[in-house]
């Protein structure tokens, strides 16, 4: 590989970094067979995520929304982390000051061994009571189409829907991880959903070297320092050699 190639440049930056932050989206799980949101496989019964992942949609028809999550839980339950998830977990082990920010709710980063992470849009294996607010893990597959809490209220996915604010702890952890990193890797996200879509520019403003790994260009491509085009499961492991 020529010394000046983008891959060689990024490898050197990662090897020299004191602090690394990684931001991932659905594209890192695509290689595990989990459908992305805005790709060809992104629809369910012709609904888009933006139509279903809202408090209004749940209010209007909780059964339909639980059917959607049930379909995803049953699908995700059969999927395993891929080499890109594993490489991100390895990067955490190698770099003392490391943080992973994931928009994914599939739990595959944790399954791959990642521990220093914020699941900023929540987790599909966690439920929250709409009455008493209790948050609990729930791995029932399939989950009852209308699951209820002991207190009698309806349970909802503990997931951040459109129009809902992210969890305050996550936001402060993300702000710290973006401010202090020497390198930010942005892997497999279309960069259209805020506030995550703004994270690359936050890191850039505070002096980080920002690299994007994606099949296609995204709205952030113009502001990153380096873009590697291709499949995450092929590219991300190469960054560790
Ligand atoms: C907030 C949970 C403050 C659901 C998700 C108007 C009204 C109301 C709100 C807004 C508005 N305008 C803007 C907003 C803010 C809104 C927003 O950004 N909307 C967008 C659509 C414009 N954001 C919010 O509401 C957020 N909250 O801002 O709070 C607030 C409060 C009130 C009012 C306003 C603001 C909450 C956002 C969280 C929404 N929840 N998920 C669920 O998962 O069940 S978002 C959903 O999209 C997923 O979490 C997903 O992770 C996320 C982003 O998608 P991506 O991960 O990027 O996936 P995508 O399919 O898009 O792209 C895949 C990428 O991978 C592609 O680039 C592809 O090329 C690439 N790829 C594919 N295969 C591979 C690959 N790359 C590498 N290798 C491969 N093999
Ligand atoms: Zn309850």
**DSSP conformation letters of 181-199:** -SEEEEES--S-STTGGGH
pLDDT band of residue 155 (cuts 50, 70, 90) is: very high
Q: Calculate how far, in angstroms, residue 143's C-alpha sits from the geometric centre of ligand 1.
A: 25
* pLDDT mean across residues, the chain: 95
CA-based R_g, the chain, Å: 18
Q: What is the pLDDT of residues 169-200, one digit of tens each?
A: 999 999 999 999 999 999 999 999 999 999 99
pLDDT value of residue 4: 66
**pLDDT at residue 44 is higher than 90:** no
Tell me the domain boundaries of the chain: 1-34+81-121+165-241, 35-78+123-159
Fold agreement (1-34+81-121+165-241, 35-78+123-159) = no
Q: What is the pLDDT of residues 47-92, one digit of tens each?
A: 888 899 999 999 999 999 999 999 999 999 999 999 999 999 999 9
Q: Which fold has domain 1-34+81-121+165-241?
A: Rossmann fold (3.40.50)
Q: Binding residue per annotation — 137?
A: no
Q: Binding residue per annotation — 108?
A: no
Q: How far apart are CA 93 and CA 87, in angstroms?
A: 10
Closest-lying ligand to the alpha carbon of 103? 1
Is 121 catalytic? The answer is: yes
Is the dihedral angle over the CA atoms 107, 108, 113, 116 positive or is it negative?
A: negative
Instruction: Tell me the C-alpha to C-alpha distance, in Å, between residue 16 and each of 11, 181, 238.
Output: 9, 12, 16
pTM score, whole prediction: 0.96
Q: Calculate how far, in angstroms, residue 127's C-alpha sits from the geometric centre of ligand 2.
A: 10
Q: What is the pLDDT of residues 121-152, one digit of tens each?
A: 999 999 999 999 999 999 999 999 899 999 99
CATH class of 35-78+123-159: alpha beta
């Amino acid at each position: 590989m020529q010394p000046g190639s983008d891959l060689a440049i990024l490898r050197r930056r990662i090897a020299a970094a004191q602090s690394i932050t990684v931001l991932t989206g659905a594209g890192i799980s695509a290689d595990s067979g989990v459908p992305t949101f805005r790709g060809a496989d992104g629809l369910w019964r012709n609904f888009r995520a933006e139509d279903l992942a809202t408090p209004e949609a749940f209010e209007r028809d909780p059964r339909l929304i639980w059917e959607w999550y049930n379909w995803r839980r049953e699908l995700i339950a059969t999927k395993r982390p891929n080499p890109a998830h594993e490489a991100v977990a390895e990067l955490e082990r190698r770099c003392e000051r490391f943080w992973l920010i994931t928009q994914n709710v599939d739990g595959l980063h944790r399954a791959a061994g990642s521990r220093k992470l914020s699941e900023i849009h929540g987790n599909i294996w966690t439920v929250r009571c709409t009455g008493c607010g209790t948050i609990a893990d729930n791995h029932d597959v399939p989950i009852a189409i209308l699951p209820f809490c002991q207190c009698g209220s309806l349970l909802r996915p503990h997931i951040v829907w459109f129009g809902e604010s992210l969890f305050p702890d996550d936001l402060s952890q993300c702000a710290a991880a973006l401010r202090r990193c020497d390198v930010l890797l942005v892997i497999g996200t279309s960069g259209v959903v805020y506030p995550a879509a703004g994270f690359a520019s936050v890191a850039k403003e505070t002096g980080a070297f920002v690299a994007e790994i994606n099949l296609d260009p995204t709205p952030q491509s113009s502001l990153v320092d380096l873009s590697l085009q291709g499949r995450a499961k092929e590219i991300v492991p190469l960054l560790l050699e």
